[in-house]
Amino acid sequence: MKPYIILLSLVCMSCASVKKEPLPNTEVWIAKFNERTLEVTDVQQITQHAGYDNQPCFSNDSKYLLYASDQDGSGSPDVMRYDLASGTTTRVTATTASEFSPTPTSNGRFTAIHVGKPSAEGNAYTESQQIWEYDSTGKGLGPIIPATRIGYHTWLDANHVAVFVVGSEDGKNPHKLAVYNTVNGTSIDIASNVGRCMKRAPNGMLTYVDKSDSTAYRIIITAGDSASTDTIVTLPKGTEDFCWMYEGTIFTFANGTLYGCATYNKPRTWKPYISPYVNGGVSRLVMSPDSRCFAWVVKKSSE
């Protein structure tokens, strides 16, 4: 698959698990990023309730943030929208299903991992996980591909989506990464032993985390098939999430510190940056398309 011009914003977050796990107690934070000074400032916690707030994703125009939130503690998250200019939050969906990993697309629409049986357990829960499309009002328009057991997804262009397919509970069928063509329904298997984080690189290619070596997770890049993979860099210990800046720098949080790796330099090394205050474990790091804001998730330290 050739690199494609990006039409959709990306996200790498969802609820991949055969055995249903309780939702963690998490909060969403944002901060401004100065590309010139490389400083992180104006740190804010934008969610303020006990329970689950997770999987943030910026809109294509960098004006708002979607995230999944269990507002009523039912264990079935809905989609929330945070406006960066006004600081206001709006509830987008209110369904009997669960929505994870909301990802803005075009014309005010978005996709999300739709769990049709949120109260089910094990395989019944996992088999109901699909990628759905929603309109600007939050109305579900149905699945974009027939595949089930989808844990995470990342758009590569308007017609190709990378998906994390949840394996079997007995481990005989491991988790895998595949790329689906939403027009003709075909798919290409890319790799197994992969992490939850998948991102479209600035050059249009797919990047993901290879976890085959438990002591050294690697960020891999591919043009869209299993035969054309290459290692970009090994992640610092203590993290499996990363995000791209448009000019080719990768960022990650590890042990409370923000690190950056300029992929256009050799050798590729991680540089610590001025880190925002965090109180708890950090995950799900994303950057706005204009590279002016970060968002991340903090698991409360009391958990």
The separation between CA 110 and the C-alpha centre of its own chain, rounded to angstroms, equals 14
Give pLDDT < 70 ranges for the chain.
1-19, 277, 301-303
Distance CA 82, CA 164 (A): 26
Q: Which residues contact 151 (CB under 8 A, 6 or more apart)?
A: 14, 15, 16, 17, 113, 129, 163, 164, 165, 166, 175, 196
Please give the CATH architecture assigned to the domain spanning 26-300. Answer: 6 Propeller (2.120)
pLDDT at position 192 is 92
Report the Cα–Cα distance between both ends of the chain, in Å, rounded: 43
**Partners of 259 in beta bridges:** 252, 272
Distance CA 57, CA 281 (A): 19
Q: Which residues contact 86 (CB under 8 A, 6 or more apart)?
A: none
Domain ranges in the chain are: 26-300
Distance CA 34, CA 42 (A): 11
pLDDT at position 15 is 58
- Decide: residue 41, CB within 10 A, 0-12 exposed, 13-18 middle, 19+ buried: exposed
Distance CA 230, CA 101 (A): 27
pLDDT at position 49 is 85
pLDDT at position 88 is 97
